[in-house]
Amino acid sequence: MNPTTRLWIKRVDLLVGLTVLGWVLIAWFILVGLDSVLQFLRQLRFVGQNGFTVSNAAYYVSVTIPRRMYEMYGSAALIGSLLGLGGLASTGELTALRAAGLSPLRIAISATWVVTVLMVGVVIIGETIGPWGDQQDRAMQLRLRTGAIGLGQSGLWARDGDRIINAARTVLRGIDGHARVQLLDVKVFTMTTDGELSRFDHADTAEHVGNLWILGQVRSSFIDKDGVHSTLRANDRWQSQLDPNVLEKSMIQPQYLSTRDQLRNIRYLERNHENPVAYTTPFWGRILYPLNTLVLMLSAIPFAFGALRSGGAGRRVFMGMLLALIWHFGQQVIVNFGVVYGAPPLLANLLPAILTILLALLYFRQLT
C-alpha cells in the first residue's frame, strides 16, 4: 500500500467517523433529554404525597440520568449512524467512496470506531455512576414512603418498635416462580426504654415466610446485670412488622446492578444450591451490551447504501427506531424462551447477536 492510499484511508476514517460521531451525540442527547423530561413529568403526579416535592422529583431525574445514558446509548448509536451515513449517501459522498474502491464493510468499520471509543465511557458509567444513582433514588423513595426504613453505605436500616435492624445486603431468590427477598448479614439491636442495648442478634440470613421472619444461623447475646450471655441456633423465628413488599421495592433491580454486584449475588445463590436466574440473565446482558450495540449498529448501516439514500432525516430516524424496537423485542423473546426451556444464559443472550451478525454479513455481501 503506497503512502497516498494510506493517507486516503485515514481521511475516509475521519470523514465517516466524525460525521457519525456528531449525529450519535445529537441523538444521544435528544433521547436522554426526552426520557428525563417524561420521567420528571411523571414524578410531578406524586408531589404533595408523603412530603414529595418538586425538588425531590428533580433529584430523582438527575441521579438516574447516568443510567438512562447507559440504556439509551444503543439506540443513539443506531439512529446516529443512520443519520450520519444517510446524509453522506444523499450527498453522493458514499458513492464516491465506493467508486474509489472501498467496500461497504470497510466504510462500516470507519463508522464503528467512534462508537467503540464512546462505548468505553458508557460501560464505565454503567458500572459506577449508574448503579450509584439508582441506589440514591431508592434511598430517597424509601425515606419518603416510610420514616422507619432507609438505605446507606452500610446497607439497609429499619426501625421496628424497640429494635433497630441492619442488613448488609439484600438478594432476590426465585421460589416457585416468584421472587422473594432475602436479607444477608442481619444485625438486630434491641433497646430498652432508656435507650440502652439489652440484646443483640446476628444472623447470616433473614427470610419472610408466612407471617414470620426466619433467621438463619443466629447468634444472640443478652445483656443483664450478670453480664453477657450468648446462644447459637440454626434458625429462629422473628416477630417483626418489617414489610417484605416494601423491602422488595427498596432493592435496585438486577439489571441496574453493576456486573460485580450481580456476580456476587450469583455466587451466593450457587453456594446455597439455588437458581440464580434472576441475576444470570441480566449479568450476561451487561457483559454482551457492547457487542449487542455494535451488532445493532452494523445491521442498520446497509440501509444507508440503499433504502435511505434518497430519504430525508425523518425517514432515517423512523427506520432507526423501528430497527431498535424489532431488535429489543426480538432479543427479549429469544432470551425469555431460553430461560423457560433451560438454555444456558450466555447462549440465550448471545444467540440474537449471532443471528443479527449473519444477516448483516449476508446483506453486506449482496451490496458488494
Q: Note the pLDDT of residue 7.
A: 46
What does pLDDT average to over the chain?
Answer: 79
173-66-148 Cα angle (round to 5): 50
Checking if the pLDDT of 145 tops 70, the result is no
Helix, strand, coil abundance in the chain, percent, nearest 5: 60, 20, 15
- Per-residue HEC secondary structure of 156-222 comes to EEEEECCEEEEEEEEEEEEECCEEEEEEEEEEEEEECCCCCEEEEEEEEEEEEECCEEEEEEEEEEE
Q: How far apart are CA 275 and CA 319, in angstroms?
A: 39
pLDDT digit string, tens, across residues 233-273: 888 887 777 766 666 655 667 888 889 988 888 888 888 77
Can you spell out the DSSP letters for 263-325? HHHHHHHHHTT---HHHHHHHHHHHTHHHHHHHHHHHHTHHHHTTTTT--HHHHHHHHHHHHH
Q: Which of the four pLDDT bands, split at 50, 70 and 90, describes residue 5?
A: very low
What percent of the chain lies above the pLDDT cut of 70?
Answer: 81
The topology (CATH level 3) of 153-253 is lipopolysaccharide transport protein A fold (2.60.450)
Q: How far apart are CA 86 and CA 53, in angstroms?
A: 45
Angle between helices 313-340 and 289-300 (to 10 degrees): 140
Ranges of CATH 2.60.450 domains, the chain = 153-253
Mean pLDDT calculated for residue range 110-138: 88
3-class state of residue 46 by DSSP: helix
Q: Which residue has the cell 449498529?
A: 297
Q: Which of 122-126, 304-308, 355-359 shows the lowest mean pLDDT across its residues?
A: 304-308
Q: In angstroms, what CA-CA distances link 34 with 22, 40, 134?
A: 18, 10, 19
Phi, psi of 221 (to 5 degrees): -125, 125
pTM for the model: 0.75
pLDDT digit string, tens, across residues 263-303: 888 888 888 777 788 788 889 989 999 988 888 887 777 76
Q: Note the pLDDT of residue 168.
A: 83
Q: In angstroms, what CA-CA distances link 35 with 2, 137, 234?
A: 49, 16, 49
Cα-Cα end-to-end distance for the chain: 22
Mean pLDDT calculated for residue range 204-232: 81
Mean pLDDT calculated for residue range 107-111: 81
3-class state of residue 3 by DSSP: helix
Q: Note the pLDDT of residue 4.
A: 45
Q: Note the pLDDT of residue 127.
A: 92
Q: Note the pLDDT of residue 63.
A: 92
Q: How far apart are CA 205 and CA 271, in angstroms?
A: 14
Q: Is residue 63 within 8 Å of 136, Cβ to Cβ?
A: yes
